[in-house]
Homo-oligomer: A and B are copies of this chain.
Amino acid sequence: MKIQLLLTGNELMSGHTIDSNSAMIAEFLSGKGYSIHRKVTVGDEPLELLADMKRLCESGDILIMNGGLGPTLDDLTAQLLSDLTGKPLVENPIARRHLEDWCERRKSPLNNSNLKQAFLPEGVEIIPNPTGSAVGFTMVYEDCLIICTPGVPSELRTMMEQTIVDTICKRHPNDQQIDTIRLQTFGLGESTLQEMVNHDYGEWPEQVELSFRAGIPLLEVKLIIHDLSHKVIQQRCYQRLHELIGDFIIGEESTTLAESVVKLLQNRQTTITTAESCTGGLIASAITEIAGASAVFEAGFVTYSNRMKQQLVGVSELTLKMYGAVSEEVVIAMTKGALERSGADYGIAVSGVAGPGGGSAEKPVGTVWMAWGHKDNLRTRRMTLTTDRKRFQQMVTAITLDLIRRELLSLEPQPTYYQALKKG
């Protein structure tokens, strides 16, 4: 059974939009053991679109189309499907009622742009859309089930959850036996990890597919089997990986660094605070993005200027003058001040040169001093991360969260963090 995806919209071709919908669709399907064979993206060019629709219907069993259902003139999906299948566009009563309700809830009149969304190829099955104006729909052509979905991610998500996954499972019951263990790691490069595995294993068991995915900031490692009778070998590989690189494993599935830290703090019934200069609140926001953060996080300090480092977290003027804002002494003082004023048990402080300006020969752009740890046991580290401002802030946030994670787990506190990073 072959599932293919066709994404439409000039915005996807122009470089101003990043497509997250196809990853979401794939994630829903992989949860049921289905995978996507091919994904084609074209602009709002009717002839190109039509040619791809035809080819993908002929070469696959299911075609999921995304985008092109909106109210504006460049939304072409319904018209082109009518051209392809020969079914005329007619006003669909369910779609019409949906649009009326949608406008009613918004206390706005049903305008002609919206009304266009009620005209669909004859005989389609409607997929409800509880939030947006565009309903989805399905139809069959050349024995291929075509599923049309809106481009708005939250609407697509609801349709996948409530309707589409079931529709696919019913039409093509799954007999695959895929099972995947996903591990999130931080601090090792892909080739280092592959070498460690090669070196340790000699021959990696062929029943278990080992796959990597370099994300920002985590590297995902997957152990995939295609036959459930291989579960024992998969478990053995999993154990062995834990022995090899356990310190670098943040968690399973889609665990993030912040999730892991919040969970560790919750389990220990302890709390953390942050004093941030160069990251400007990003560490605090990473922690508070996690549901339940309020149990472990009461306060964070964004002390961007020297004056505020003195006033909010009590760094002395003398320390700032003697060592400069980007220094070991200052991050220690920041951590101590934040710990004292918040009453937290653990603290993180960072001060660095995010760039693009502000660097010097001694402290070039990318230099950062970090302090972290329990109030009775603070550690520090200097690194140089040569990258752009935004990425620098993300990397510093990830590294400090990992340093706290290691502290909480009593692991080696000074891993190399990618051989590519220069150490200060």
Contacts and interface: CB of A to CB of B under 8 A. Distances in A.
Per DSSP, chain A at the interface is mixed
Interface in A347-379: 355-357
B291 A284 contact: no
A298 interface: yes
A71 B281 contact: no
A48 B38 contact: yes
A72 B17 CA distance: 30
A156 interface: no
A289 B389 contact: yes
Contact of A298 (B107, B289, B308): B308
B39 A13 contact: yes
Nearest to A152: B214
B111 A195 contact: yes
A250 B328 CA distance: 40
Contacts of A214: 151-152
Contacts of A30: 14-15
Contact of A419 (B108, B287, B308): B108
Interface in A128-143: 131, 133
Interface string A329-343: 000000000000111
Interface residues of A, number: 105
Interface stretch (A20-28, A161-169, A234-242): A20-28
A320 interface: no
A109 B183 CA distance: 27
Interface string A171-188: 000000000001000000
A396 B293 CA distance: 18
A213 interface: yes
A40 to B, nearest CB: 5
Which of A18, A37, A114, A307 is packed against the most chain B CB atoms within 10 Å?
Answer: A18
A212 B279 CA distance: 33
Contacts of A28: 15
B341 A311 contact: yes
Given A70-B190, A308-B298, A195 B289 contact: no
A119 interface: no
A283 interface: yes
Interface of A: 10-20, 22-30, 35-43, 45, 48, 52, 70-74, 106-108, 111-114, 131, 133, 151-152, 154, 182, 190-191, 194-195, 198, 211-215, 220, 222, 254, 274, 276, 279-285, 287-289, 291-294, 297-305, 307-308, 311-312, 341-343, 355-357, 387, 389-391, 393, 419-420
The 7 closest A-B pairs by CB, nearest first: A280-B288, A15-B27, A15-B26, A281-B284, A281-B281, A300-B302, A299-B308
22 contacts: A13-B37, A14-B26, A14-B222, A16-B215, A16-B220, A17-B23, A38-B42, A70-B190, A70-B191, A106-B420, A112-B195, A113-B191, A113-B194, A152-B214, A274-B281, A280-B284, A280-B285, A282-B288, A284-B284, A288-B302, A288-B393, A289-B393
